[in-house]
Structure 1
Amino acid sequence: MKKVAVILSGCGVFDGAEVHEAVLSLLAIRQHGAAYQCFAPDKVQLHVIDHLTGNEDNSQSRNVLVESARIARGEIKPVSELNVEEFDALIVPGGFGAAKNLCTFANDGADSKVDEDVAVACKKFADSKKPAGYACIAPALAASIYGNQVKLTIGTDEATAEGINALGAKHVNCPVEEIIIDSDAKLVTTPAYMLAQDILEAHKGINKMVQTVLGMA
């Protein structure tokens, strides 16, 4: 059975992993006959957003690993413990946590820096030519990992695409239900909730991304 590492970035679209994208990714991995292990950085997340009001909550702080454990039902490890040799592929769901906690793209754009432990893990997948799938805004992280004009997508948002291109990637516009494949890098990306209007639309692209990644493994 193929085994997939999944890197989460918290819990909640505005300050962590997008919950629907994360669950749809895990479901697709199992539906296509593979197993998964979740990972997340063990650190304080950038900030906390009240998902009911959309306002920042300065009264508290949260840990990315602890929050991600909510999605993983406790079955999760620090990303520093991710041994790439034990896995066939990598999946990184979106949510703003991917651009806030896994890297700094949300604040820094073209000057984005990747979390050190996340960078080590993701670059090992890239250097080993093991396939990876990044959804929603997570391809902004992939742009820093792969560079070298790698083809990827976050959908059709021009400003975000410009920032990604400035990191050395080559953005390709893509509809919500489709994927962009860079065969040389073995990288698959899909817009998910960068464009999706409901969970069915997000599912179509994510399922296709996971299926394609597993087919490359």
Structure 2
Amino acid sequence: MNSKKKFAVILAGSGVYDGSEIHEATLALYAISKNGGEYQIFAPNIDQHHVVNHLTGEEMAETRNVLVEAARIARGNIKDLKEFKAGDFDAILFPGGFGVAKNLCSLAFDGADCNVDSGIENVLREMHKAAKPIAALCIAPALIAKVISNVEVTIGQDAGTAEAITQMGAIHVNTNHGEIVFDKENKIVTTPCYMLDATIAQIGEGAEKVVKTIMALSI
């Protein structure tokens, strides 16, 4: 195992309903560090689609910035996605959360016809072109399905989301707690996390399997 593999981790804000899922993000970072890797966190410098009160589930009448909110999870150690360079990293990882489907793309509103943020699209294409591993948790595999053709991914077992991924031209594989789908040809590793009714322990298990699979690759 190469202890120096460096991951770029891309966040979509802070909080499951309008940003990145905090458990998924934190446990992914933990898995990278625990297994001898390093990481740098990035987020796009854009406004969130909206702000949700996580206590009531209601929309709030204010505007927040994805990069500023994601900095909460990163403890301030975060960079604008515009600074990302594929040559600096061995792999890239996207935690889930509704912010992926609202801020990084429009999946939550447009389904299979969604648009992906141009910065996110560029990053995915750069890493894929460089034949470097791409990891995605929860709903984030939909980003890969939209940008990269004919990939094999999982979001768990949700029929509607799986159908949207199929319409995008990807292959969806049903999975259960802690399971991964590894598209070896494209070096893409995905796991369902909170797309299933999961415990935090199951989130950690899935995140660690994703990271260990990438760490075992020759990059």
TM-score category, normalised to shorter length: over 0.9
TM-score (norm 1): 0.97
Q: In percent, how many aligned pairs have the same letter?
A: 50
Count of residues in Structure 1 that have an aligned counterpart in Structure 2: 215
**Corresponding residue for residue 154 of structure 1:** 155
Amino acid at match of 2:53: D
Q: Distance in 2 between matches of 1:214 and 1:75?
A: 23
Unaligned regions of 5+ residues in structure 1, if any? Answer: none
Q: Distance in 2 between matches of 1:147 and 1:161?
A: 15
Q: Distance in 2 between matches of 1:182 and 1:36?
A: 22
Deviation at 1:177, TM superposition (A): 1.1
- Aligned residue among 6, 28, 44 for 1:41: 44
Q: Give deviations 1:70-111, integer Å, cap 9, x for gaps.
A: 000000011111011000000100001111111111111111
- Which runs of structure 1 show a deviation greater than 6 angstroms over 4 or more consecutive aligned residues? none
Q: Give deviations 1:118-151, integer Å, cap 9, x for gaps.
A: 1111111111110011000001111012122x11
Q: Residue 46 of structure 1: SS of its match in structure 2?
A: coil
Q: Distance in 1 between matches of 2:46 and 2:137?
A: 22
Amino acid at match of 2:93: I
Do the aligned residues in 2 keep the contact of 1:80 with 1:118 (CA within 8 Å)? no
**Corresponding residue for residue 119 of structure 1:** 121
- Aligned residue among 7, 10, 20 for 2:10: 7
Q: Distance in 1 between matches of 2:177 and 2:187?
A: 20
**Corresponding residue for residue 83 of structure 1:** 85
TM-score (norm 2): 0.96
**Corresponding residue for residue 97 of structure 2:** 95
Amino acid at match of 1:71: I
Amino acid at match of 1:111: D
RMSD across aligned C-alpha pairs, in angstroms?
0.8
- Equivalent residue runs for 1:62-81 within 5 Å: 62-81=64-83
Q: Distance in 1 between matches of 2:197 and 2:40?
A: 26
Do the aligned residues in 2 keep the contact of 1:135 with 1:190 (CA within 8 Å)? yes
Q: Residue 53 of structure 1: SS of its match in structure 2?
A: coil
Q: Distance in 2 between matches of 1:86 and 1:60?
A: 36
Do the aligned residues in 2 keep the contact of 1:154 with 1:189 (CA within 8 Å)? yes
Deviation at 1:196, TM superposition (A): 4.0
Q: Distance in 2 between matches of 1:159 and 1:143?
A: 15
**Corresponding residue for residue 175 of structure 1:** 176
Do the aligned residues in 1 keep the contact of 2:105 with 2:115 (CA within 8 Å)? yes
